[in-house]
Amino acid sequence: MHSESKSKNRQTANVIAQGAGGVAGYDGFAGFYHRHWSDHFHPWAVELADRLIVPDLPDGAVVLDLCCGTGKMAGELVRRGYQVTGLDASREMLRFGAGYAPGSLFVCADARCFAFRPRFQLVVSLFDSMNHILSADDLLKVFQNTRHSLAEGGKFIFDALLEEAYIRDWSQSCSIIGDDHACFVRGGFDPGSQLGRTEVTLFQRAGTCWKRSDISFFERCYAPGQIVSLLRKAGFSDVSQLNPSSDLGIAGDFSDGRLVMVASC
């Protein structure tokens, strides 16, 4: 079922459902992510857009922000003159999207089973979203869905974490303490399974009581060659691997151990 037909009847809702929407972990984590987490990555993503996307994408281009989270990147693209649709599996994350990109359409759907007609000139997916897809078969489904949603000549731009980043960063821990919330984050990486895990313990105050939530997230590390092979299998004809530092001139911690992939139809 195409999302456009639904959106015409539900424009005022701003968020529509398609396929298997909703991810319980991120639904419970959405408020904290909105307040704290995405701000760390956001400046890096904006710089990437200005260096890689904006110079080649015409004004008014139609863009899909895949795994858009709370919609911050979608808002930046709207402000640069593009028509943006955001898609994410967490309905609670999407509730913040209207504040960042008013007037844009946000679709609650699983990246492994969404469907649009081929109309987008660009699909963008950042903050290692593709690493959240935990099997090669499912990652291929995401790539196929993306390819089918792109107009001829369209591009798919996304980032992927490399093993060095998981080894370096995933064993670290951090905490954030506020008047009405506290969050403790720790994780680890198993080189054998190539799985990284993030465990979050979140305390939120409700009146005189505190509510505890325990949430786990997983990511899979894919070798660059495997990603390229899956993109070609999905029908992309041209694939480039870019180093954020040396190829795009984007410095900082988020550039270390991360590739930017550009796949063209």
Domain count across the chain: 2
Whether residue 198 sits in one domain with residue 101 = no
**What value, to the nearest 5°, has the Cα angle with vertex 255 and ends 32 and 92?**
20
Phi and psi at residue 82, in whole multiples of 5°?
A: -105, 155
Rounded Cα distance between 160 and 148, Å, is 21
Q: E-strand spans in the chain? A: 15-17, 62-66, 83-88, 105-108, 120-125, 150-161, 174-177, 181-190, 195-206, 209-220, 238-242, 258-264
Whether residue 202 sits in one domain with residue 107 = no
pLDDT, tens only, 119-148: 999 999 999 999 999 999 999 999 999 999
Question: What percent of the chain shows pLDDT beyond 90?
Answer: 75
Look up the CATH number of the domain holding residue 137: 3.40.50.150
Whether residue 47 sits in one domain with residue 178 = no
Domain limits for position 204: 165-219
Whether residue 239 sits in one domain with residue 215 = no
- 72-79 and 38-48 helices cross at what angle (nearest 10)? 30
pLDDT, tens only, 79-93: 999 999 999 999 999
Whether residue 170 sits in one domain with residue 131 = no
Whether residue 178 sits in one domain with residue 106 = no
Q: Which of residues 182, 201, 219 is at a domain's end?
A: 219
pTM of the model: 0.89
- Kindly report the average pLDDT of the chain as a whole number: 89
